[in-house]
Chain A
């Protein structure tokens, strides 16, 4: 406790004092647990600012008061069977009234104190939208060729509101599927969408590249960027949306779509990319492969040979080879790669090379023959970055195995400078490709988005949106 800040100490002291309002048995049974939970709440709230911490503390104090009334009512109901009714009621009423008066006086004092301290400590002039509830609306966005079915998270707070389109990572055909098939409560995109909507930002999610049934072929990056611009125009026409504050957020390859759209349209106010590769898909994939083979202990000669096999697949795909034509070369590459995969991955991928190949080859060759995949081979992400017509926030994840943070952040900085473009490049520490804290940095018992994703991640994005890229 000694290391805590004074304001936190006061909050904790007030909370512990307020526990004396509770019946003695209840306090003995649960008082320590409640204090622990209170500390957890304050720690989580502090990440969002001092005001939030002060508000949470006051809410918790009010909660103790309500519980005290409820629990004393219960204990009174039990005792009336044994004791004279009038005496018990009078005694309980007087005690509650006295303690409540003392408690409310203490709460008022603490509230004023906490507010003053929070004001003194407030970090910078950053304005944030008020936290709000939101409703989910299934929407239809008319395009020239077809209508897109999307999902709009519409905050209940009064407009005009900033708005974003959220584009997920590379999942051909099905753009709203949980990225990478990961399990858990929700994927990073859903967590971010809910967070932003809860902070007064309208969020549109649209499966650009085909329906949710995966019956349609994927589109190229260019086609997706065109659809993104169409969706931005649709959003700008919505009643509560501020037409000058509509932006695009893209996760991983989705960031390439976002930057391409922003290089083609003046309607996009800002862009945020999340762990987006700054090199073409083939080049980035070869680098990831090299790191995987190195960590598996493959000698340099083997690494080069295996990378050449993958390069052959890329070359054939770029020339328009069909899935069937790509299959032999891809199988050869997978068999060569298998013995050098890191043990942990090999255990998940398959017990033998045959099992590994049989499990993934169909999906991968179909993907490699898709328009989306082809359009990303040789794609010049840096040139697009230099042509953007709006500011961009480029976030990278320190522990990203798929998109190396330092390498790509360096490329992004140089491209922004060379193109004279306004933007900010930031590396979030301790997180993976999906901006989730690495498994060794979080407890399985903690399940909230605040625990899974660092506050720095949410803060960076909300600040960028709130200021529409005008952040100093």
Chain B
């Protein structure tokens, strides 16, 4: 019987990127899109429809919740902000551990040189 966290694994990659974007702070939709795009060096670009499809599923499964609306002075008060729940944080941690193990297995099998692990910006 999978645990409450394990039943979400493996996470689809769009869900993974959105959860990663929300790790540091709560954000509205556009900020999430930009964070994902920026964090993946432009490799992953979410459209508004894809993004809100993901947000809908993450809300339904309790991995994120809607935050408080901001005052007009803090931005556009019509925007909705989203943040990780404790369950969402546990799921993202478990998923990253899973991916790390895959990466280790890749290095051990010689599929990827160990020095490729030193990626840009992680020195």
- Scoring B residues 32 to 60 as 1 if CB is less than 8 Å from chain A, else 0, what string do you get? 01110111011100011111110110000
Stretch of B1-9, B22-30, B90-98 contacting A (4+ beta carbons < 8 Å): B22-30
Whether the pair B52, A198 counts as a contact (CB closer than 8 A) is no
Q: How far is the CA of A59 from the CA of B37 in the complex (A)?
A: 15
| B34 touching A447, Cβ below 8 Å | yes
Chain A residues lying within 8 Å of B33, measured Cβ to Cβ, are: 37, 41
Distance in angstroms between the alpha carbons of A198 and B42 in the assembled complex: 8
- Report the separation of the CA atoms of residues A201 and B52 in the bound assembly, to the nearest whole angstrom: 34
State whether A443 touches B47 (Cβ < 8 A): no
* CB–CB A67/B75 < 8 A: no
- Identify B120's interface contact among A37, A71, A136, A198, CB under 8 A: A136
Residue contact A447 to B123, C-beta cutoff 8 Å = no
Known pairs A133-B43, A198-B42; A37 contacts B29 (CB<8 A): yes
Which B residues, 54 to 71, have Cβ-Cβ distances below 8 Å to chain A? 55-56
Residues in A with CB closer than 8 Å to B31 are: 445-447
Interface of chain A residues 129 through 173 with chain B (CB within 8 A): 133, 136, 138, 151
Check A440 for interface membership: any CB of B closer than 8 A: no
* CB–CB A59/B47 < 8 A: yes
Q: Is the CB of B76 within 8 A of A36?
A: yes
Q: Is A66 an interface residue (CB 8 A)?
A: yes
B56–A26 CB distance below 8 A: yes
Does the CB pair B48–A133 fall under 8 Å? Answer: no
- Contact of B79 with A by CB under 8 A: yes
Smallest Cβ-Cβ distance to A35: which chain B residue: B48
Asked if B121 lies at the interface with its beta carbon under 8 angstroms from chain A, I say yes
Q: Identify A36's interface contact among B29, B42, B47, CB under 8 A.
A: B29
Q: Nearest chain B CB to A192's CB is how many angstroms away?
A: 14
Are A67 and B49 interface neighbours, CB within 8 A? yes
Complexed CA–CA distance, A451 and B35 (Å): 11
Whether A136 touches B123, Cβ cut-off 8 Å, given contacts A33-B29, A59-B47, is: no
A36 touches B79 (CB 8 A): yes
- Is the Cβ of A176 less than 8 Å from the Cβ of B123? yes
Q: Nearest chain A CB to B26's CB is how many angstroms away?
A: 9
Query: Would you call B13 an interface residue if the criterion is a C-beta within 8 Å of the partner chain's C-beta atoms?
Result: no
Q: A185 at interface (Cβ–Cβ under 8 A)? A: yes
Contact partner of A133 (CB less than 8 A), chosen from B28, B42, B49, is B42
Asked if A300 is at the interface of the complex by the 8 Å CB criterion, the answer is: no
A448 with B37, Cβ < 8 A, contacts A138-B115, A138-B118, A198-B42 known: yes
Contacts A30-B55, A36-B78, A63-B47 known; A445 to B27 CB distance under 8 Å?
yes
Q: What residues of chain A lie closer than 8 Å to B104, measured between beta carbons?
A: none
- Whether A32 sits at the interface, judged by CB under 8 Å, is yes
Give min CB distance, B17 to chain A, whole Å. Answer: 14
CB distance from B18 to the nearest CB of A (A): 13
Q: Is A22 an interface residue (CB 8 A)?
A: yes
Inter-subunit contact A63/B49 (CB<8 Å): yes
Q: In whole Å, how far is B25's beta carbon from the nearest beta carbon of chain A?
A: 9
Contacts of A136 in B (CB 8 A): 119-120
Please state if A30 and B56 are interface contacts (CB–CB under 8 Å). yes
- A132 to B35 Cα, complex, angstroms: 19
A191: shortest Cβ distance to chain B, in Å? 9
B49→A445 contact, CB < 8 A: no
Residues of B within 8 A of A63 (CB): 47-50
- 1/0 per residue, CB under 8 A from A, across B82-105: the answer is 000000000000000000000000
Known contacts A26-B56, A29-B56, A36-B76: A448-B38 contact under CB 8 Å: yes
* Highest count of chain B CB atoms <10 Å: which of A36, A64, A133: A36
- Judge whether B52 and A60 touch: CB under 8 Å: no
Q: Is the CB of A194 within 8 A of B47?
A: no
Mask of A33-68 contacts with B, CB within 8 angstroms, 1/0: 110111011000000000000000001101110111
How many whole Å from B65's CB to the nearest CB in chain A? 15
Q: List 20 A-B contacts (CB under 8 A).
A: A26-B52, A26-B53, A26-B56, A32-B78, A33-B79, A34-B49, A36-B29, A36-B30, A37-B29, A37-B48, A41-B30, A60-B49, A64-B48, A133-B42, A185-B38, A190-B121, A194-B41, A445-B28, A446-B31, A447-B34
Known: A33-B52, A33-B79, A445-B75. 11 other contacts (CB 8 A): A29-B56, A34-B49, A36-B79, A60-B47, A60-B48, A66-B47, A138-B118, A176-B123, A198-B42, A445-B28, A447-B38
